[in-house]
A and B are shown apart, each in its own frame.
Chain A
Amino acid sequence: EVKLLESGGGLVQPGGSMRLSCAASGFTFTDFYMYWIRQPAGKAPEWLGFIRNKANGYTTEYNPSVKGRFTISRDNTQNMLYLQMNTLRAEDTATYYCARSLSFWGQGVMVTVSS
């Protein structure tokens, strides 16, 4: 059974940093592109970026809206996906989802940026 479990969310002050984690199980992690997507409450989701699979060299792509502030990485020995978020702003407040390809999403973790 495919499982994705996000963690690491919570309250952070504007200008702060936070790292989200996503624990993957039930599939061959290195075979898949892995994505981060966020969704502010009551709004549409927003694609943040992805990290490619082993066959494509684990390279990354980002939405320009977060490029330079957010970094996606993976630990293929632990089947973990990460999202490092820096210089956080109030508008980064959202539920953050990891996803396998674009087909299976985790349950999400909430991030609130507020003083």
Chain B
Amino acid sequence: DIQMTQSPSFLSASVGDRVTINCKASQNINKYLNWYQQKLGEAPKLLIYNTNNLQTGIPSRFSGSGSGTDYTLTISSLQPEDVATYFCLQHSSRPFTFGSGTKLEIK
């Protein structure tokens, strides 16, 4: 199985800050990497698919990058409504596997 190491586990930042969350795969996942946002009590929502494609309806302050084994989710200017837990998912190789999550709070 491909292991997804996500960091940091917890992140506190101020409104307007640039925020980055990372996922490292245990092997090359060929950009088959999605990012999800999960607010408290809700289902995960897709933000970015296949590394850098913004899902319809998602604000442009969210972006993704990466290749090979290393991937990054960036929020260019943190907003209060971005408080959530963020997960990465590799869907290059079955079983598909998720990162352990990053809990993002406003400082």
A residues adjacent to B (C-beta < 8 A):
44-47, 61, 63-65, 97, 102-108
Contact = CB atoms under 8 A, between A and B. Distances in A.
Interface size of B as a range: 10 to 19
Contacts of B100: 44
A44 B42 CA distance: 13
A61 B94 CA distance: 9
A103 B43 contact: no
Contacts of B34: 102
A1 to B, nearest CB: 12
B97 A105 contact: no
Contacts of A103: 46, 49, 55
Given A102-B89, A103-B55, A44 B99 contact: yes
A65 B97 CA distance: 12
A38 B97 CA distance: 12
B101 A65 contact: no
A105 B99 CA distance: 18
A107 B95 CA distance: 23
- Residue with the highest number of chain A CB atoms closer than 10 Å, among B95, B98, B99: B95
A65 B1 CA distance: 11
B39 interface: no
Interface string B76-97: 0000000000010101001111
